[in-house]
């Protein structure tokens, strides 16, 4: 772990190890081309393939622009009549690229459109003066394939963030989920070796890049994602949020928020609630289980699967399904909940866990991926080994037994989340960019020399 964190895990200490005298004289990028092929930063998280990565890109780009690095985000146009470019925030432009039919293309079908997408990116670049982009930052493997070509063509460094990895997902698959295809594994391996820098959300993810993909440890930088602390905060508390959402004041409310697919394991929460009600039938009158989100990925094959499971388990009366909501209303759902439950099989970070904690709500989560970094076990929530509904029922039972536990852990959760501000993440990312540009220039000089 230390080999990454000591280099670039904190926003300022790392580069001084590399360059005596810090970054004086080492230029930050003026303008970055950010690539997000399969999901637009303008889409609402929780719908289709839009999730934590959308939030990550929007927040990161906005904060980078605020500290002097303009960002242009290239994404695939998914409806007709979109303007070619839209200003998302001052210094942040979203460019829509035509690549394949607007509607009805699944993420799995997008590799066939990467050539068309690359063409659109190259067309946009061709209209600019030489040296317009200083760096390419690609998100997810589909974007990495385009970024690899663009960075080489433009003679600039490529920085890549995996967000999720096929080999890691396949090693921890839900039993009814579909494995990631070999083509993705090959694509990810190519990007790992082509990128000047890889950004990992946690030191655990950095280890996985080295272990599964043979990444060079010196090229991996750990930058924790942030959370919008202005939006996700305790505000006026649980009672007021419940009143606004029409939820009962005295109920135990374990919340699931996210895309409904086997990877996220919302079924584990429902099974845990069934176990809890078996043990204590009196809880039925004071428990409500909101599931906020829409079907996604392999979950689209059985969009009604979760409703049917609730009926089979005999808990349909206490489960409430709610379509995805905007970020401000999501913050209210977090505030209203007694606890957020994240039983995922794989999470590169688990941004939702940090958002809930920032809103003052504890989290019960699977001890996978970045969740052990996001949640302080026993302080801001509970980490569960494995996916046994009994273990989740036990954790939820503690909140049912003690009315004070959610409040006490919620305060600790809000304090814990304060260390995950986006400003820190943006300045750390800018440092990664600067180091990548410095190394790239040095290599180019030695190559020509």
Annotated binding site for UDP-N-acetyl-alpha-D-glucosamine: 44-45, 52, 259, 264, 325, 347, 355
How is the beta sheet containing 289-292 ordered, strand by strand?
319-322, 289-292, 254-257, 339-342, 363-366, 381-384
Q: Please tell me whether residue 37 adopts helix, strand or coil conformation.
A: coil
As a whole number of angstroms, the distance between CA 66 and CA 332 comes to 27
Give the chain's radius of gyration (CA, Å). 22
Q: Is the dihedral of CA 329, 413, 6, 189 positive or negative?
A: negative
Count CB atoms within 10 A of the CB of residue 17. 10
423: phi then psi, degrees, rounded to nearest 5: -60, -40
The two tokens of residue 414 are: 């809000």
As a whole number of angstroms, the distance between CA 447 and CA 360 comes to 53
Segments of 120-211 assigned E as strands: 135-139, 158-161, 197-200
Binding residues: 38, 44-45, 49-54, 107, 140, 164, 184, 259, 264, 325, 334-335, 337, 347, 355, 361
Q: Which of 367, 361, 297, 370 has its CA nearest to residue 330?
A: 361
Using CA atoms, how far residue 431 sits from 72, 132, 280, 358, in Å, is: 19, 20, 53, 26
Binding residues for Mg(2+): 334-335, 337, 361
Q: Please tell me whether residue 21 adopts helix, strand or coil conformation.
A: coil
- For the CA atoms of 291, 294, 297, 300, the dihedral, rounded to the nearest 10 degrees, stands at 100
Binding residues for 1D-myo-inositol 3-phosphate: 38, 49-54, 107, 140, 164, 184
């Amino acid at each position: 772990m230390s080999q990454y964190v000591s280099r670039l895990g904190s926003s300022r200490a790392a580069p001084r190890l590399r360059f005596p005298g810090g970054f004086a004289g080492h230029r930050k990028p003026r303008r970055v081309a950010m690539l997000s092929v399969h999901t637009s930063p303008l889409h609402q998280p929780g719908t289709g393939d839009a999730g934590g990565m959308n939030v990550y890109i929007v927040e990161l780009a906005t904060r980078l622009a605020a500290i002097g690095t303009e960002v242009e985000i290239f994404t695939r146009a998914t409806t007709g009549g979109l303007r070619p470019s839209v200003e998302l925030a001052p210094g942040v432009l979203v460019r829509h690229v035509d690549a394949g039919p607007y509607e009805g293309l699944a993420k799995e079908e997008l590799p066939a459109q990467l050539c068309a997408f690359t063409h659109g990116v190259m067309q946009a670049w061709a209209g600019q003066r030489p040296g317009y982009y200083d760096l390419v930052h690609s998100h997810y493997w589909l974007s990495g394939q385009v970024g690899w070509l663009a960075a080489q063509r433009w003679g600039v460094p490529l920085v890549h963030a995996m967000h999720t990895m096929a080999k890691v997902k396949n090693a921890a698959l839900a039993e009814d989920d579909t494995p990631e295809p070999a083509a993705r594994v090959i694509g990810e391996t190519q990007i790992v070796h082509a990128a000047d820098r890889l950004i990992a959300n946690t030191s655990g993810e950095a280890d996985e890049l080295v272990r599964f993909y043979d990444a060079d440890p010196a090229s991996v930088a750990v930058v924790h994602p942030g959370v919008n602390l202005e939006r996700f905060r305790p505000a006026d508390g649980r009672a007021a949020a419940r009143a606004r959402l029409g939820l009962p004041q005295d109920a135990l409310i374990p919340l699931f928020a996210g895309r409904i697919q086997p990877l996220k394991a919302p079924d584990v929460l429902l099974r845990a609630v069934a176990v809890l009600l078996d043990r204590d039938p009196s809880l039925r009158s004071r428990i409500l289980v909101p599931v906020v989100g829409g079907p996604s990925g392999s979950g689209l094959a059985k969009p009604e699967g979760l409703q049917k499971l609730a009926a089979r388990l005999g808990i349909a009366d206490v489960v409430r399904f709610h379509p995805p909501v905007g970020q401000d209303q999501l913050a209210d759902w977090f505030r209203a909940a007694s606890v957020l439950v994240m039983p995922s099989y794989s999470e590169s970070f688990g941004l939702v866990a940090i958002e809930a904690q920032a809103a003052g709500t504890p989290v019960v989560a699977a001890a996978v991926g970045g969740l052990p970094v996001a949640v302080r076990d026993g302080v801001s929530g509970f980490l569960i080994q494995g996916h046994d509904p009994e273990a989740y029922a036990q954790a939820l039972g503690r909140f049912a037994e003690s009315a004070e536990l959610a409040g006490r852990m919620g305060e600790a959760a809000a304090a814990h989340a304060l260390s995950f501000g986006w400003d820190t993440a943006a300045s750390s990312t800018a440092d990664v960019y600067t180091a990548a540009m410095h190394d790239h220039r040095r290599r180019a000089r030695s190559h020509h020399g």
